[in-house]
Amino acid sequence: MSDEKRVDASRRVLLAATCAAGGVAGLATAGAFVSTFQPSERAKAAGAPVEVDIAGMAPGEMRTVEWRGKPVWILKRSQEMVAALPKHDGELADPLSKRNPDELTPPYARNEHRSIKPDVFVAVGICTHLGCSPSTKLSPGAQPSLPADWPGGFLCPCHGSTFDLAGRVFKNKPAPDNLQVPRYMFAGDTKIIIGKDEKGEA
């Protein structure tokens, strides 16, 4: 092999290595640039909207996500759960969510199921009494610390406040108000954005 061919071969190797290194650097830069579009942990804590994919959630399933440092529940209610909601209105302190509506219930959730879609309930999982996080007691029927005709819902373990499957507080309980429904919206059939609705961010 001549010296000229050896030089050409070494140049090709050097050129290939340079291109590979440049490509890796370019991908890394692009990846870092794209990641800037995602809200940082600090932004989330400050209140940046959170997107949740609820595809595949089964009826009766509940998920908890964090928004502004608070637990937010997403409950996929079954048809039976939705049908049971109006049956205990007389036992609730605020069945139509008239108390503190601007603070606790956006206009699109001021209905009997307190949600945009009847089968998907979104609420901040913090008791309106002293800020404890209620336990899920979704199954109806007698259970410890609950009445025999319990319709399903949530029980605050701190002072015994109870809420139905729409986050509405039962009468004669320490909690003064229903659970808060945060501002939220659907971005398609299976994606929810918490902390933002058609009027803007919370």
| Residue-wise pLDDT tens digits, 74-85 | 999 999 999 999
Locate the domains of the chain by residue range: 1-38, 42-201
Average model confidence (pLDDT) for the chain? 84
Q: What is the pLDDT of residues 110-130, one digit of tens each?
A: 999 999 999 999 999 999 998
pLDDT in tens, 52-81: 999 999 999 999 999 999 999 999 999 999
**Residue 159: active-site member:** yes
Alpha-carbon distance of 154 to 135, in angstroms, equals 6
Q: How confident is the model at residue 36 (pLDDT cuts 50, 70, 90)?
A: very low
pLDDT at 173 over 90: yes
- Quick: pLDDT tens for 149-171: 999 999 999 989 999 999 999 99
Q: What is the CATH number of domain 42-201?
A: 2.102.10.10
With a pLDDT cut of 90, the percent of the chain lying above it is 65
Identify the active-site residue in 88, 113, 129, 159: 159
pLDDT tens, 125-138?
999 998 899 999 99
| Average of per-residue pLDDT across 172-200 | 93
Confidence check: pLDDT of 7 > 70 = no
